[in-house]
Chain A
Amino acid sequence: MTGSFDFVLSLGDDALIAAQRLGEWTSRAPEMEEDIALANIALDQLGAARLLLTYAGELEGAGRDEDALAFLRDDREFRNCLLVELPNGDFAVTMAKLFFLSAYQLPLYTALAGCADERLAAIGAKARKESAYHLDHAALWVKRLGDGTEESHRRMQAAVDEVWPYTHELFAADPAAPVDPATLRADFDATVSTVLAEATLTRPETGWTPGGGRDGVHTEHVSYLLAEMQVLHRAHPGAKW
C-alpha cells in the first residue's frame, strides 16, 4: 500500500460496503428493535464512509468527490477488506461480521484520533464514539446467542468459524500508513477473547487466511453488491429527489 490516499480509501470502502450490507436487513430483521438498530449502525458506517471518501478524493487531487468514488469505480478498484463484502448469511453471521469489524474499527479510529493528520484525527475522534456502540451491540448478541440455547450456540459458533479467517486481512502490516493496522491486533485479540469466552464460544484456530481486498482482488460477492448500489447513479447521472 502506498501513501495516505490508499489508506483512507480502504477505510472509507470498508465503511461504505459494511453500510450497504447492513442496509439489506432493513425490513427483514428478526424483530423491530433490531431492524432499527441495524439501520442505525448502517447509517453510522455511511457517515464515516462519506467523510473518509471525501477526504480520499481531496488527497488524490484528481477531482473525484465522494459520489464519484462510491458510484463510479468498478469492483477491482475497491479497497475494502473481504470481511465486509461477505453475504449477511443468517443473523449469527451478520453479528459475527459486525463484532469482528467493530472490534477492529474501535481501536483503529481511537488510534487515528491521536495521529498527526488533523483531518483523520477529527474523523477518528468522531467515529470511535459510534464504533463503541456498534461493538457493544454486536458483543451483546454474540454473548446472548453463544450462551443461549443449544441451537443458537451451534449457529453462533458456526458463524464465528466461518467469518474468522477473513479477520486476518485487517491487520496486514503497513508501516507507512498513518496508523499501522498491525498495531491494532493486540487490542482486537483481547476484545475477541473476552467476549467469546463469556459467550461460551471457542476461538477458532488460525489456518486459512484469505486476503486481497486491499489490492482490489475481491470475492464475487462485491460485484453483485456494487451492481445494486451503483445502478441508479449510473443510469441517471446527477439524479436528485
Chain B
Amino acid sequence: MVTDPRAAAAAVVDPEIRVITIDELGILRAVEENPATGRVVVTITPTYTGCPAMDVIRADIRRALAAAGHPDAEVRTVYSPAWSTDWISDSGRAKLAAAGIAPPAPVSAGNVVPLTLAVRCPRCGSPETEQVSRFGSTACKALWRCRSCSEPFDHLKAL
C-alpha cells in the first residue's frame, strides 16, 4: 500500500529524544515527490553540525518511506538556513516537557547566545533552578538542577 510520504517522514522519531518527531523538532524541512519519476526526496537539517544521530535519522526516514510504499526515497541534508530551537513546534515543546526535558526559550533576534531566563523545572514547575553544565547528554542539551525538588533535568538549550 502506498501512503502519503510526508506523513510517513513526519512520524519518524528523533533517535536520541524518542518522545518527539523530526517534524516537531523542526529538522524535517521538505518532502517532495518528483512528478516524473515518483521518487520521494526528503530534506533534513541537523540541529548541530556534529550531531551523531544524523545517520540513524536518514536510515529511519528511508525505512519509514519504504514501509509507506516508497522504497527508493532519497534523503538530502541542507545546512542553510541554520536550524533554530524556534522551529520546535508547540506540540514538540509540550512533549519535551512531559518527558522531563525543559524546552528552550525563544531565541531573541541578534543574540547568538541567548540570555537565559528562568528555566522551569519540568517535574515540579518551580523557577528556582540552576545550570549545572552548559553541555549535557547530547549536543543540543544542557544539564540543570531544580533547587526546589532537587531533581536534575535536561534543558534543550536555545540555539
Contact = CB atoms under 8 A, between A and B. Distances in A.
A126 B82 contact: yes
Interface string A108-137: 001000000010011101111110110011
Interface size class of A (residues with CB under 8 A): 20 to 34
Interface stretch (A42-50, A62-70, A81-89, A159-167): A42-50
Contacts of B78: 122
B41 to A, nearest CB: 19
Interface residues of B, number: 24
B49 interface: yes
Contacts, number: 74
Nearest to B134: A137
A122 B79 contact: yes
Interface stretch (A33-41, A72-80, A181-189, A219-227): A33-41
Main secondary structure of the interface of B (DSSP, over half): loop
A46 B51 CA distance: 10
A43 B52 contact: yes
Contact of B113 (A37, A45, A122, A136): A136
A195 interface: no
A41 B139 CA distance: 8
A44 B46 CA distance: 12
Interface in B57-104: 78-83
B49 A50 contact: yes
A126 B82 CA distance: 5
B121 to A, nearest CB: 19
Interface of B: 46, 48-52, 78-83, 112-113, 132-137, 139, 143, 157, 159
Ranked 10 nearest A-B pairs via Cβ: A47-B50, A47-B49, A122-B80, A33-B133, A37-B135, A43-B50, A132-B112, A40-B135, A126-B82, A132-B113
Interface of A: 33-34, 36-37, 39-41, 43-48, 50-51, 106, 110, 118, 121-123, 125-130, 132-133, 136-137
Given A44-B48, A126-B79, A133-B135, 13 more contacts: A36-B133, A36-B135, A37-B134, A46-B50, A47-B48, A47-B49, A47-B50, A50-B50, A121-B80, A122-B79, A125-B82, A126-B49, A130-B49
27 contacts: A33-B143, A37-B134, A37-B135, A40-B135, A40-B139, A43-B48, A43-B50, A43-B52, A46-B50, A47-B48, A48-B50, A51-B79, A121-B80, A122-B78, A122-B79, A122-B80, A125-B82, A126-B79, A126-B80, A126-B82, A129-B159, A130-B49, A133-B134, A133-B157, A136-B113, A136-B134, A137-B135
